[in-house]
Amino acid sequence: MDLAAAVAPTTLARQRTLPVSSPLIPLFPDGALVRGRAVSCQGVAATSLALAIAAEPTTAGAWAAVVDVPWLGVEAAVELGIPLERLVRVDPGPNGSKSEWADLVGAVLDGFEVVVTRVPRHLSATVARRVQARVQAREAVLITVGSSAGTGAAGRGPLPLDLTLETTAAVWEGVEQGWGCLRGRRVTVTSAGRRIPRPRQVEVWLPGPGGGVAAVENVETEPVLRSVG
Amino acid sequence: MRYVTVWCPDWPVVAAGVAAGVPAVVLHANRVVARSPAAAAEGVLQGQRRRDAQRCCPDVLLLDHDPDRDARAFEPVVRAVGRFAPRLEVVEPGWSCLDARGPSRYFGGDQRLAEQLMSAVREHAGRIAVGVGVADGRFASAVAARRAAGGRGPMVVDPGGSAAFLDRLPVAWLQHVGEADAELVGLFARMGLARLGDLAALPAGDVLARFGPAGRHAHRVASADDDRSANAEEPPPERRVEQCFEDPVVQVQPLVFVGKHLADQLVAELAAEGQVCTRLVVTAETEHGERTERAWYRAAGLSAPAMVERVRWQLDGWMAAGEVSAGVVLLRLAPDEVRGDDGDQLRLWGGPSAADERAARAVTRLAGMVGDDGVLVPAWHGGRLPGDRYGWVPASTTDLTDPDDTAQRLRPDLNGPWPGSLPAPSPAVVPPEAQTATLTDATGELVRVSGRGELSAAPARLTIGDRSAQTVIGWAGPWPLDERWWEPPRHRRLARLQVVTADGTAHLVLAEHRHWWVAASYG
């Protein structure tokens, strides 16, 4: 650390960060997840992308909570690099209201640095601001997962999002007409947000062969062998 | 040096105001830190997990660990003991000790002093269980007090008799009194050093060479040679840190905040010299000259948070007693005894981090909000379908900060390989229940899987639930699966297909009993 940084009187918000895995770095204006901000993952690969973003901070020792995402695939989380010993899932009760969601997220933020959640539809602006203030005060990172069906618009609620990551143009590799098996998916991730003048785009394997996230150019597209005769 | 120890057994339970005869435990990080006599009678042990305690005694009352509450409740006892000697040390709530020499001469002997102390505590603090022990050395007197707590009268060990008193006692006493950790005590026991006398009989140099500073300390304690810590010294008076207030402070919170600054400063200064404070005197004075001064002792050394905690306990008790008529103008922290810090370091690996503790606390709180079934952690079950391989278990049934417990929960290698499971990548979206679906061929007929694992036709359209049909652009499989055929109620026979639809999503589709299901999606 150089002296200027050591004696700097203040820390800027963008200097308090959590790491993010290297193929996804181009999407983030600060090159990392900035604490106290909300990131939205949308589109076809929303759940995988949310897990991929959460992987690096949890590996570094942060705890991750998954609130109201009961469909989370644990194996995919492992393959994307999330250590399960620091993963907790919280489900609201069967008749949970929107304010209960906010209370729950508030309580989760007290103990977890990474929170993956689904924002309820028709969330009131007051409740959303409360949650946002809590995220900032706790210096956590809130990752919201849009509709898994790919409608894309579910995340555009009243919650002020700092970064929206849209996954589009997903192409699965490895499966043909009746043979092969899924090897990976090439997907285009576009980031847009208040602090980005123009959208950034990156094409990644999500998941790549083996289940992790990888930059597209780094993976050799080896020929798939097909049994004949 | 001769010490009197006043010890109140299971103080956290007593402080919580549990009625006699009610089984109750106080829990910290899911472990029992104190239990009521009724719970002890049911077989609840110190250090037990919550679920084990509940198994021993299903109707046990669970209480949260609250050191501040314990300290407030202990204040009357400290005041009662303080009448006998002003310079008493509080080790922790429920446990204080004082130098016996002066008071003992004044009251006419150790036995008389101990009896008077006992009746004074009972008189001022209500009918609580209390043990008083007098012996040479802090450790021996603490042991004597604990042994006396079960009986009626105090326990007095004759001068010079501490070594003989400790000789026949098991080494586990070192752990009970907090002079050694469980690991070291376990090691002693495994090496055949069952009694304190066995340990004391070893040459001190050999113990130091084999067990390090912790072992040397245990050896000194077991030999009743613990008047002072091995390398303790009295620090020069300029070591003390204090803060005077221009404007008198009437509330505890700002004072504690100032106390934190002072403690940080003191600990940093001592650490720069490689020292740690074992005995701290906290003094506060008001504008009107009222004054509180108390010594706090901790054999392992007082860290800055521990000092702050003690400042808060002392000020809380002082203010609550109603003896304060004006604001506080002086707060002073004076180290009374320091010793070389010979390595009570945090472990390099394995110990729970602050983040772990924070998460564990949040989990406890969340379980209170949504119930135990709403806060879940993954656990390895094993299987060939995505939902089977990992299950979710309530977080309250595990100890999140215990690496052994966690490793056992998530150990996928013990169950062997699962031949027939699909290779990575795995689906990221695994709904709790499989959704019904229809898979049709180009003519609109339902695709069927034959008993030999062959499809009747190439799938062309996939409809999930009541969503609109999607065109199939790629598919692989079917991979048959015949699980648990030896157990008819749980027998499953199905075929798996990976299906990619035109919208770019991939699904894991199952055929079972002539129906199609979507078990998971690669979201």
- pLDDT (tens digit per residue) in B478-517: 888 888 888 888 888 888 889 998 888 899 998 888 889 8
Is the confidence at residue A66, as pLDDT, over 90?
yes
Alpha-carbon gap, residue B32 to B300, rounded angstroms: 22
Q: What is the pLDDT of residue A7?
A: 65
Question: What is the 3-class SS of B300-341, one letter each residue?
Answer: CCCCHHHHHHHHHHHHHHHHHCCCCCCCEEEEEEEEEEEEEC
Question: Residues A154, A29: contact at Cβ < 8 Å?
Answer: no
C-alpha to C-alpha distance for B84 and A89, rounded to whole angstroms? 55
Q: Which residue has the higher pLDDT, A116 or A229?
A: A116
**pLDDT at residue A108, as a whole number:** 92
Interchain proximity B353–A176, CB inside 8 Å = no
pLDDT, residue A155, reads 42
| Residue B351, amino acid | G
CB-based burial of residue A104 (10 Å sphere; 0-12 exposed, 13-18 middle, 19+ buried)?
buried
More confident call, B4 vs B424: B4
With H, G, I as helix, E, B as strand and everything else as coil, classify residue A161. Answer: coil
Residue A152: predicted pLDDT: 36
- CA-to-CA dists, residue B493 to A112, A134, B395, B401, B452, angstroms: 41, 49, 33, 40, 12
Give the single-character DSSP code of B203: -
pLDDT band at A89 (very low <50, low <70, confident <90, very high): very high
Q: What is the pLDDT of residue A116?
A: 93
A207 has a chain B CB within 8 A of its CB: yes
Please report the residues numbered 348 through 377 in chain B whose beta carbons come closer than 8 angstroms to any beta carbon of chain A.
Answer: 353, 355-356, 358-363, 365-366, 369-371, 373-377
Peptide bond into B425 cis (omega under 30): yes
pLDDT tens digits for range B330-344: 999 998 888 877 654
Average pLDDT score over residue span A28-32? 85
CA dihedral B145, B150, B156, B162 (to 10 degrees): -60
**Integer Cα distance of A141 and A53 in angstroms:** 10
Q: Residue A151 pLDDT more than 50? A: no
Query: Rounded to whole angstroms, how far apart are CA atoms B6 and B212?
Result: 31
**Chain A residues with CB-CB distance to B370 below 8 A:** 90-93, 96, 104
Q: How many CB atoms lie within 10 A of CB B416?
A: 8
Kindly give, in sequence order, each residue whose CB lies less than 8 Å from that of residue B90, ignoring residues fewer than 6 positions away: B74, B78, B96, B294, B295, B296, B297, B310, B313
Residue A150 has pLDDT above 50, yes or no: no
Q: Note the pLDDT of residue A114.
A: 93
Q: Distances in Å between the alpha carbon of A137 and those of A13, A35, A106, A109, B37?
A: 12, 10, 11, 9, 44
**In whole angstroms, what is the distance from residue B388 CA to residue B379 CA?**
10
Q: Does B406 touch chain A (CB under 8 A)?
A: yes
Max intra-chain CA distance, chain B: 107
Q: How far apart are CA A51 and CA A148, in angstroms?
A: 13
Please name the residues between 121 and 150 in chain A that touch chain B, using a CB distance below 8 Å: 148-150
Question: Hey, which residues 107-146 in chain B have their CB within 8 Å of chain A?
Answer: none
Q: What is the per-residue pLDDT across B81-126, written as a single tens digit (0 to 9) for each?
A: 888 877 788 888 888 888 888 888 888 888 998 888 888 888 877 7
The letter for the amino acid at B380 is W
- Residue A190 phi/psi, 5-degree rounding, is -115, 130
Q: Which of B366, B389, B421, B454 to mutate to test the interface with A (most CBs of A within 10 A)?
A: B366
* Contact residues for B163 (Cβ-Cβ < 8 A; gap 6+): B200, B223, B224
Q: What is the pLDDT of residues B206-261, one digit of tens each?
A: 988 888 888 888 888 888 877 655 456 677 777 888 889 888 888 888 888 888 88
Q: Average pLDDT over chain B, rounded to whole? A: 84
pTM over 0.90: no
pLDDT (0 to 100) of residue A97: 61
CA–CA separation, A171 and A205 (whole Å)? 10
Question: Which residues, including other chains, have CB under 8 Å from residue A80's CB and lie 6 or more apart?
Answer: A48, A51, A52, A55, A207, A211, A212, A213, B428
Contacts of B186 (CB under 8 A, 6+ apart): none
Phi and psi torsions of A125, nearest 5°: -65, -35
Query: What is the rounded CA–CA span in Å between residue B196 and residue B440?
Result: 79
What residues of chain B lie within 8 A of the CB of A92, using their CB?
A: 370, 374
**pLDDT band for position A154 (50/70/90)?**
very low
- The predicted pLDDT at position A157 comes to 58
Pairing of strands A114-117, A141-145: parallel
Instruction: Please determine, for residue A149, whether its predicted confidence score (pLDDT) is greater than 70.
Output: no
The three-class DSSP label of residue B117 is: helix
Which chain A residues are closer than 8 Å to B476 by Cβ?
A: 174-176, 178-182
Q: B476, A208: Cβ pair inside 8 Å?
A: no
Indicate if the pLDDT at residue B410 is higher than 60.
yes
Which chain B residues touch A61 with a CB distance below 8 Å?
A: 353, 355
Range 65-124 of A in CB contact (< 8 A) with B: 65, 70-80, 84-93, 96, 103-104, 107-108, 110-113
Question: Taking Cα atoms as reference points, which of A215, A84, A64 lies closest to residue B379?
Answer: A84
Determine, for residues B428 and A76 on separate chains, whether the beta-carbon distance falls below 8 Å.
Answer: yes
Size of interface A-B (CB pairs under 8 A): 185
**Residue of A45, A73, A111 with shortest CB distance to B359:** A111
Q: Best-predicted range by mean pLDDT among B32-36, B126-130, B237-241? A: B32-36
Chain B residues lying within 8 Å of A208, measured CB to CB: 425
Question: Could you give the CA distance from residue B368 to residue B395 in angstroms, rounded to a whole number?
Answer: 12
Q: Flag whether residue B502 sits within 8 Å of chain A, measured between CB atoms.
A: no
Q: Report pLDDT digits (tens) over B453-473.
A: 888 888 888 888 888 888 888
Q: Pick from B31, B82, B39: which is nearest to B57 by CA?
A: B39
Nearest-angstrom CA–CA distance, A25 and A20: 6
> Given the DSSP bridges, would you call strands B2-7 and B131-136 parallel, antiparallel or unpaired?
antiparallel
Q: Distance (Å, rounded) from C-alpha B101 to C-alpha B80? A: 18
Q: Environment class of residue B155 by beta-carbon count within 10 Å: exposed (0-12), middle (13-18) or buried (19+)?
A: buried
In the structure encoding, which two tokens stand for residue B423, read together?
């290779």
Q: What is the average per-residue pLDDT within A176-203?
A: 86
**Whether the predicted pLDDT of B374 surpasses 90:** no
How close A152 comes to chain B (CA, Å)? 13
- B432-436 average pLDDT score: 86
Q: Is the pLDDT of residue B416 over 70?
A: no
Minimal Cβ distance to B424: which of A77, A148, A210 = A210
Q: Quick check: A76 and B353 CB within 8 A?
A: no
Of B113, B109, B167, B162, which Cα lies nearest the Cα of B139? Answer: B162
CA distance A168 to chain B (A): 9
CA distance B425 to B412: 17
Under an 8 A CB cutoff, do A111 and B377 touch? no
Both tokens assigned to B460: 């062309």
- Find chain B residues with C-beta within 8 A of A134's C-beta: none
d(CA B99, CA B2): 6
- How many CA atoms lie within 13 Å of B228's alpha carbon, on the beta-carbon side? 12
Residue A115 above 90 pLDDT? yes
Alpha-carbon torsion angle B503, B507, B512, B515, nearest 10: -20
Q: Which residue of B has its CA nearest to A168?
A: B504
The Cα B332–Cα A91 span in angstroms is 49
pLDDT at B352: 60
Residue A51: the pLDDT is 92
Sign of the alpha-carbon dihedral angle for A25, A26, A28, A32: positive
Token duo for residue B341: 């810090």
Nearest CA in chain A to B352: A61
